Amino acid sequence: MNGKIDIRKGVLLVDDDPNILFIGKFALKKSGYSVFVAENSEKALQIFEKNWKKISCVVLDFAMPGMNGVECLGKLREIDPYAKIVISTGYEFDDLPKKLEIEGFLKKPYTIDTIRELVMEIAGN
């Protein structure tokens, strides 16, 4: 086989709630993903900048202290304009995916099955 196949099996999970990071990491690892976790936007950007070629999907909390999810989303797109991003929030937004040009929306609180199924659908692997 000539050339390298790009198989992105990584997920970047960004949330300021350690319980959500723990549950999400558990669920996604059980599905065969490599999981990168970040407790804030600044750390997420550092991880993404170093590993964006390995990451097939970013699950990004909408409301975090410091840099919020929308600001982080813009900076992630500067690194990789084609990044597949899911916004996670407890707030109600009917038009959020279209308005922010994101691939998905994950309503909190979510279950292990919900995050796993959505990431598998968005990541495509």
CATH number for position 19: 3.40.50.2300
Show the tokens assigned to 24. Answer: 């999400």
Numbers of helices and strands, H then E, in the chain: 5, 5
The answer to whether 67 and 42 are in contact (CB under 8 A) is: yes
In tens, the pLDDT along 33-54 reads 999 999 999 999 999 999 999 9
pLDDT average, residue stretch 95-115: 81
What is the residue range of 19's domain?
A: 14-123
| Residue at 71 is within a domain | yes
pLDDT at 13 over 70: yes
Establish if 101 belongs to a structural domain. Answer: yes
Domain count, the chain: 1
* pLDDT at site 8: 60
| DSSP letter string, 70-98 | HHHHHHHHHH-TT--EEEEESS--SSHHH
- What DSSP character marks residue 7? -
In a domain, 3, yes or no: no
Tell me if 29 is assigned to some domain: yes
